[in-house]
Amino acid sequence: MCVTFHVDVIHLFFLRSRERPSRPVSESDPEVAERLAVGSTETLANGNKADLQAAKRLAKRLYNLDGFKKSDVARHLSKNNDFSHMVAEEYLSYFNFSEMMVDRALRVFLREFALMGETQERERVLSHFSKRYLQSNPNTILNEDSVHTLTCALMLLNTDLHGHACTFFNCYSPLEKSWYLI
């Protein structure tokens, strides 16, 4: 079976090497606990020191949509800092993808929130999904890169099939273009 990959899927693998690492911060920030108290919708998007308990609280609230809409979730999972990575890990811990095929697990995952944002932000969320999928299926023959590649390809194909206004990566139909990697 021949699967066609769009050049943008391959481009995603080079994004990680070009991203800037999050800034280091001081050991304590007295405002951190207040800003992430129950009822707060603010996250530490500016890269403040990651706090595991705050990440767990926020992840639980995101999963239960406690004070959040589905359109808010991806924004909290997609930032490139330690706190958002912890929130994403904790959020994905609520999902059990055991014995599911990748496409079914992806459907279950994306049913819970709207995957929105720039390509790099979406790629980060899908990368977190890939890690969790492998944690749930340790005996699979796939590795994280394989799951991630397949996930991005499924997103492209689904968007081309159903997204008539804009595609996953930009506003044209990728399968109508002649530049593919086969």
Other CB atoms closer than 10 Å to residue 55's CB: what's the count? Answer: 24
- CB within 8 Å of 38: residues ≥ 6 apart: 57, 61
The answer to whether residues 22 and 80 touch, using CB atoms and an 8 Å cutoff, is yes
Measure Cα distances from 151 to 32, 109, 158, 172 in Å.
34, 12, 10, 20
Residue 181: beta bridge partners? Answer: 5
Q: Which of 27, 31, 118, 176 is catalytic?
A: 118
* Residue 118 bears catalytic tag: yes
Structure tokens at 180: 């593919």
Between CA 19 and CA 140 the distance in angstroms is: 29
Strand (E) or helix (H) holding 117: none
Catalytic residues: 118
